């Protein structure tokens, strides 16, 4: 049964005059700049203006009909279950399809009818419970509570509040359904550190608190703050992206089947302990991104959003449109104002309450298109502006980005999008979607394709360069070789593709190496450096991959007898002075530190002066540095000419062949390379170098 509240009005029909408005008459502040940068967008000017008009109309409705922007985005302060200053309780829920709501729990002896909500307009239900006669709170801290919903057919069912802030896994003997506990400690942790400035170039350490420990268990926020944050700082990353924070009943979902959006995962600790972790990160100058899942939600009914009001709709589309069949999850109805309130308030909650600095939006491609990204994209612009686009979801993303960037000028948003939609990472003032970055998802796919299907002799360096540089002008990209996606069981990390079972016996420095290990370590460094240097305006690495973490990631499940053996990070490997993992780790540190010194990620894109298929040599300059990489599996080259834009004396500032990085020390650091006035590779100046097989070099001007 589908029940809509009286407030349900599709966002693309909001505003009395929008349907009769000619989109070409809509004022978009900076649209002309957008269209001039890419003339192929000119035929879609009307659609850009229409999108902007719907976004602006939605903003107007929030301001004038939904209580004002400030109250709207801070709805987490009155929706859900709250303790007031006088210790009374206030409850507020949206359940348009319910016949009646009740609050029950330990506080009233689980009487399911003694505390009914009052029904207001638009499916909004409220309840006030006065303080006890002794002025104490009627619901004690950490006591269990539930919302009882009388459905349209008279049945009464138990639910968790969508706005619950603390939800825990029950003891084994009580089943699997998560419980909502009242979070009202005598003293709540108060954030002490301010938001740091957003780095001009993000170097992101993608991490998961639960898997971050060496022991076979779920890691905690406290352990992460104590043991992992110092590692991230030492590695030279300036940001971390924390996965699986929003509560999810199924651990193996990697946090992507969210059941409670406002509750930080209790597996890893309390809300206060998460806040303390964010403070520790900020104290170290680290910018903290939240991996946010607003593309879909878990199908769980008893401890999720699904069927909260007893109907198939409420927060989601009814019927087939409300189900993501590949992910077996529910899809939000972004046209409903109360859904918009819930999701945007959710973002502001994590920014203001927990201190997160920005957001990586998961599953944006699935949101943007009615086919949920299930088919490939040819690059034809009609795919981005036709009927296949889910306008409701697109407008939600525009509104969310518009609000976030206006309220929090220091915020950063990143889109996980594989489609390449034009304008996705341009400001809303240009009728763009408003993200700051998109993930360069084609890059890891290319590396895995080469490692799985091509011999080293068959690598096409031109194709590698094309993949690394093929991005929209003035739309920033986060480049990465591999993320959590490539670490999961069923796939392999790059290190494992390169070295596989040899990693179990060939990584000791006390014994002789072998060809597989030497090749693997050499290519592992080269792949990371060229991706870092050429692939984008930001860089991302998944926890442990900086040192070539062996094996895959497999969460405890029935199929592995609930084992944590592969659900951890083996820090002992990189900490052991006698193992080669340390060498790859040291290269990662040197690479990040060099970027911090020369800031190539925040400079313009690299200029590729040379890509020679037979030699398999690539050279490019960026931020005053010259990068040269020889991917040939056997040939080294003497007197190899490379091009630079500025004359002078150059020296090697990073060599993957250094012994400290697992190389053979075949190059001398104290050699100066003096340019010749010899036009080469589209550059006026050049000089000759020695470049060994499977070695990457970075040169900088001495003066």
Q: How many domains does the chain have?
A: 3
User: 640 with 611, same domain?
Assistant: yes
Same domain, 417 and 566: yes
**Angle at 260 (CA atoms; ends 255, 261), nearest 5 degrees:** 80
**Six token digits for residue 462:** 């031109």
Are residues 120 and 93 both part of a single domain?
yes
Single out the catalytic residue among 273, 362, 546, 595. 362
- Torsions phi, psi of 577, nearest 5? -65, -15
Residues 573, 621, single domain; the answer is: no
- 86: domain CATH number is 2.60.40.10
Residues 569 and 541 occupy one common structural domain: yes
| In-domain check, residue 1 | no
List of residues 6+ apart from 637 with CB closer than 8 A = 615, 617, 630, 690, 691
Q: Backbone phi, then psi, for 698, in 5-degree steps? A: -125, 130
Enumerate residues 6+ apart whose C-beta is below 8 A from 409: none
Which of 665, 656, 663, 686 is CA-nearest to residue 530?
656
* CATH number (domain holding residue 686): 2.60.40.1180
Say if residue 480 is in the same domain as residue 454.
yes
**Residue 441 and residue 296 share a domain:** yes
| 532 alpha-carbon distance from chain centroid | 18
Residue 582 inside a domain? The answer is yes
**648 shares a domain with 614:** yes
**Is 96 part of any domain?**
yes
**Cα distance between residue 554 and residue 211, in whole Å:** 10
What was the pLDDT predicted at 376? 81
**Cα separation of 643 and 627, whole Å?**
10
Active-site annotation holder among 416, 482, 537, 546: 416
Distances (CA, A) of 553 to 492, 523, 556: 9, 22, 10
* 416 included as an active-site residue: yes
Identify each DSSP E strand in 84-175 by its residue range. 89-94, 100-105, 118-119, 124-129, 144-150, 156-159, 167-168
Residues 467 and 566 placed together within one structural domain of the fold: yes
Active site annotation includes 307: no
Neighbours of 501 (CB within 10 A): 10
Q: What are phi and psi of 121, to 5 degrees?
A: -70, 155
Range of the domain at 371: 203-309+355-401+411-598
- Gyration radius (Cα) of the chain, Å: 27
Same domain, 370 and 456: yes
Confidence at residue 70, expressed as pLDDT on a 0 to 100 scale? 97
* Residue 45 placed within a domain: no
**109 burial class (0-12, 13-18, 19+ CB within 10 angstroms)?**
exposed
Neighbours of 105 (CB within 10 A): 22
Q: Which residue has the tokens 């040599």?
A: 617
DSSP code for 13: G
Domain match, 291 and 439 both: yes
Q: What pLDDT score does 23 carry?
A: 86
Residue 374 carries which DSSP code?
-
Quickly list H helices, 579-667: 581-598
Q: What confidence score (pLDDT) does residue 6 get?
A: 39
Q: Are 109 and 219 contained in the same domain?
A: no
Does any domain span residue 276? Answer: yes
Of 569, 598, 627, the position where a domain reaches its end is 598
The pairing of strands 167-168 and 179-181 is antiparallel
pLDDT at 20: 56
CATH number of residue 260's parent domain = 3.20.20.80
Phi-psi region of 314 (alpha: psi -120 to 50; beta: other; left: phi over 0): left
User: Which contiguous run of DSSP H or E holds residue 512?
Assistant: none
The last residue of one of the domains, among 598, 632, 661, is 598
The verdict on residue 518 lying in a domain is yes
| Domain finish residue from 577, 598, 619 | 598
* Predicted pLDDT at 2: 44
With beta carbons less than 8 A apart as the criterion, state whether 701 and 649 touch: yes
Tell me the two tokens of residue 207. 């991490």
In a domain, 626, yes or no: yes
Sites in the chain below the pLDDT cut of 70: 1-21
DSSP code of 488?
B
Examine residue 523 and state whether it is found in any structural domain, yes or no: yes
């Amino acid at each position: 049964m589908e029940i809509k509240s009286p407030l349900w009005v599709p966002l693309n029909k909001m505003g009395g005059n929008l349907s009769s408005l000619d989109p070409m008459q809509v004022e978009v502040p900076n649209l002309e700049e957008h269209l001039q940068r890419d003339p192929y967008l000119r035929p879609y000017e009307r659609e850009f203006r229409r999108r902007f008009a719907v976004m602006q109309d939605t903003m107007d409705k929030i301001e004038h009909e939904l209580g004002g922007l400030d109250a709207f985005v801070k709805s987490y302060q009155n929706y859900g279950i709250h303790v007031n200053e006088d210790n009374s309780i206030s409850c507020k829920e949206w359940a348009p399809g319910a016949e009646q709501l009740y609050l029950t729990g330990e506080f009233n002896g689980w009487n399911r009818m003694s505390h009914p909500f009052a029904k207001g307009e638009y499916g909004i239900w409220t309840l006030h419970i006065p303080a006890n006669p002794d002025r104490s709170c009627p619901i004690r801290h950490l006591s269990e509570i539930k919302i009882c919903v009388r459905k349209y057919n008279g049945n009464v069912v138990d639910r968790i509040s969508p706005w619950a802030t603390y939800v825990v896994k029950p003891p084994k003997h009580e089943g699997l359904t998560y419980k909502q506990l009242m979070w009202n400690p005598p003293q709540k942790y108060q954030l002490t550190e301010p938001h740091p400035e957003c780095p001009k170039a993000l170097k992101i350490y993608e991490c998961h608190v639960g898997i971050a420990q060496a022991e076979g268990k779920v890691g905690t926020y406290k352990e992460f703050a104590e043991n992992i944050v110092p590692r991230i700082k030492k590695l030279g990353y300036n940001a971390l992206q924390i996965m699986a924070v929003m509560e999810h009943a199924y651990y193996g979902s990697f946090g992507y089947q969210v059941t409670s959006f406002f509750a930080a995962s209790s597996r890893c600790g309390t809300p206060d302990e998460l806040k303390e972790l964010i403070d520790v990160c900020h104290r170290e100058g680290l910018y903290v991104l939240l991996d946010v899942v607003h593309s879909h939600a878990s199908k769980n009914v008893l401890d999720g959003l699904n069927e909260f009001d007893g109907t198939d709709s409420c927060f989601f589309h009814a019927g087939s449109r409300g189900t993501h069949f590949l992910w077996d999850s529910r899809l939000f109805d972004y046209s409903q104002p109360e859904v918009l309130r819930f999701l945007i308030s959710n973002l502001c909650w994590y920014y203001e309450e927990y201190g997160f600095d920005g957001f990586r939006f998961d599953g944006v491609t699935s949101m943007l298109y009615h086919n949920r990204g299930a088919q490939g994209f040819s690059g034809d612009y009609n795919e981005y502006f036709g009927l296949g686009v889910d306008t409701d979801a697109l407008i939600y993303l525009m509104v969310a980005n518009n609000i976030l960037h206006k309220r929090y000028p220091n915020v950063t948003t990143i889109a996980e999008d594989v489609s390449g939609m034009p304008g996705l990472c341009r400001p809303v003032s240009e009728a763009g979607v408003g993200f700051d970055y998109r993930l360069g998802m084609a890059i890891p796919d290319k590396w895995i394709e080469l490692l799985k299907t091509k011999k080293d002799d068959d690598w096409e360096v031109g194709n590698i360069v094309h993949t690394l540089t093929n991005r929209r002008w003035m739309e920033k990209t986060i480049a990465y070789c591999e993320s959590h996606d490539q670490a999961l069981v069923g796939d392999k990390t790059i290190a494992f593709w390169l070295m596989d079972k040899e990693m179990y016996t060939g990584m000791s420095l006390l014994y002789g190496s072998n060809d597989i290990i030497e090749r693997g370590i050499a290519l592992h460094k080269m792949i990371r450096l060229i991706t870092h240097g050429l692939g984008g305006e930001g860089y991302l690495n998944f926890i442990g991959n900086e040192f070539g973490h062996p094996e895959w990631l497999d969460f405890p499940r029935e199929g592995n007898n609930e084992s944590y053996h592969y659900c951890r990070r083996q820090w002992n490997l990189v900490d052991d002075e006698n193992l080669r993992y340390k060498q790859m780790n040291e290269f990662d540190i040197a690479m990040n530190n060099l970027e911090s010194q020369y800031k190539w990620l925040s400079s313009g894109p690299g200029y590729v002066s040379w890509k020679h298929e037979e030699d398999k040599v690539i050279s490019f300059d960026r931020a005053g540095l010259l990068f040269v990489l020889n991917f040939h599996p056997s040939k080294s080259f003497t007197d190899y000419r490379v091009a630079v834009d500025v004359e002078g004396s150059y020296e090697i500032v990073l060599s993957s062949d250094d012994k400290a990085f697992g190389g053979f020390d075949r190059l001398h650091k104290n050699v100066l390379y003096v340019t010749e006035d010899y036009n080469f590779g589209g550059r006026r100046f050049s000089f000759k170098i020695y470049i060994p097989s499977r070695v990457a070099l970075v040169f900088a001007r001495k003066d």
